[in-house]
Chains A and B, each alone.
Chain A
Amino acid sequence: MCNESSHDKHAFRKSRRKVLKGLAAGIGALALPATNASASVWEAFFQKNFRELNKTELNQVLARLEGEYSKEYGKQVTVKATLPIEGVKYGYGLDLSRCIGCRRCVYGCVEENNQSREPEIQWIRVMQLDKEKGVDLSHAEHYYNPPEVPQEGKFYMPVQCQQCENPPCTKVCPVQATWKENDGIVVVDYNWCIGCRYCMAACPYSARHFNWAKGKLPKEEMNPDTHYLGNRPRPVGVVEKCTFCIQRTREQPGRYPACAEVCPVGARKFGNMLDPKSEIRYLIENKRVFIFKEDLNTQPKFFYFYAT
């Protein structure tokens, strides 16, 4: 990420930015009242892309964000920028023969990842499908709400970011605000995204979500353990998505993603695809597996499987 060589490359860009900074600050000084907050507003405005930040700058950014969030949510919030673990490529397995469509994962994710409660943003969408028709989306029911699940003759297919090896969303971004990390997680720099939503048009899985308004997140429900590229509170007008709970899974030892942890039927599996002894490797090698929309060559690292 913030390696030195890429930093040198942008030295020129930096000097240009200074000119712009001076110019805009001059104009902005007229437009914005000089409150205490204005310094951090300008710092945020001129913040570089995450991948161009050097260590000092990164620490400043993290400290600024921690301060802002701690104040806003009335508790000590940490914003990590944990790097990928060497030799790890995350993979996810979802057992369609087990999933009962109870949506516990949807809400577990919302709570862990500080999604906006209003307007509602959910990173996982569970579809109810007919067993007779198989994975035929034209019969998918997204808003099913029976008293009990599973329903007779139905099966359930949760969809979230498939963390593609060949992600169509990152290449379309006009400003490189989204990219695939070395551990395979596709992330968004919420402070760099311009909100053009081209990535949303490009994603075949409806995995990207837009902050149509400034999200409401109750203080008491805010999860203070956050990652810069993951579950920190998002500003209005940017795109967000599942990160395999980057704030959990990049730790050593790293907890399972919230959706996997909360699943009452154990349908969700997670692990390191480069580790031959991991459960994800076992299920890929031993179970009937399919990847969603295989023909699009997105090469998901999210594997739907049938344990039975």
Chain B
Amino acid sequence: MKIYVWRCLSLAIGLVAFGAVVVYAAEVEKYFDRHGTLIVQEKVEKYKRRADEGTTYPVPPPPFSEDIFPCSDCHADMEPNPQRRELVDMHEDIVLNHAEGQRWCLDCHNLDDRDTLRLISGEVIPFTESYRLCGQCHGDKLRDWKVGVHGKRTGFWNGEKQYLLCAHCHNPHSPSFKPLQPMPAPVRPENLDRQGSQAAPTHN
């Protein structure tokens, strides 16, 4: 009698354990592709739950330099080096002009997974949520950005709006705006009637 009870119990435990393993494996499978590389998009789902009380902001794809993303294409096979240093072989075109005395690459980029960013809290976020990273220091800007007062929202004033990431306008490594060439000055009233005869009205 006793032995049957134990057998049944072990079978049930075994079944549950097996199920758990299967489910876990399936879950894990979601985050990695065939080569075992982490899939960013899938992971994002998980993090979204935590971002801003469930609010996310519709943004266009982050403005990566051409062919640079996913970073793991190169970094997956490299040994992460947490040593603070000047980069020489790669990325030497990036000049940090953004509180450069106080930080370096891995303060924002995730050491363990270059396809993501890392907040000071240790939380890992995708590039599409980079505004949270910027907002760590620029909290007032983030607040204004969320309501559409900092930066630019496009779309419909009374309908769907599209946000731009901070990085769409500011180069994160050198965020201050670069000067622009202004569009031509208006025609002076004195010249309005001979506007056509002036090929290129130059006024100062």
Interface residues, chain A, CB within 8 Å of chain B? 85, 88, 93, 95, 100-104, 106-107, 118-120, 122, 125, 142-150, 212-213, 249, 252-256, 260-261, 263-266, 269-272, 278-279, 282-283, 286-287, 307
Contacts and interface: CB of A to CB of B under 8 A. Distances in A.
Given A118-B196, A119-B192, A256-B157, A147 B181 contact: yes
Interface stretch (B45-53, B83-91, B104-112, B147-155): B147-155
Contacts, number: 117
Contacts of B99: none
Contact of B182 (A102, A260, A270): A102
Interface centre among B154, B159, B186 (most CB of A within 10 A): B186
30 contacts: A88-B158, A100-B180, A101-B182, A102-B181, A103-B183, A119-B192, A119-B193, A120-B186, A125-B186, A142-B185, A143-B186, A144-B182, A145-B182, A145-B204, A147-B181, A149-B181, A150-B179, A212-B193, A255-B155, A255-B157, A256-B154, A263-B152, A265-B152, A269-B149, A271-B157, A272-B157, A278-B157, A279-B147, A307-B149, A307-B150
A97 to B, nearest CB: 10
Given A103-B183, A107-B183, A254-B157, A266 B151 contact: yes
A252 B147 contact: no
A282 B149 CA distance: 8
Contacts of A107: 183
B181 A256 contact: no
Contacts of B180: 100, 102, 148-149, 264
A107 B187 CA distance: 13
B106 to A, nearest CB: 29
Interface in B169-204: 169, 177, 179-188, 192-193, 195-196, 202-204
Given A143-B203, A253-B160, 15 more contacts: A85-B158, A104-B183, A106-B183, A106-B186, A120-B186, A145-B184, A145-B185, A212-B192, A213-B193, A253-B155, A254-B156, A265-B177, A266-B151, A266-B164, A286-B149
B204 A279 contact: no
A249 to B, nearest CB: 7
Contacts of B188: 143
B144 interface: yes
B158 A120 contact: no
A273 B112 CA distance: 47
A122 B183 CA distance: 13
A103 B203 CA distance: 15
A24 B44 CA distance: 74
Given A120-B195, A254-B159, A283 B149 contact: yes
Contacts of B192: 119-120, 212
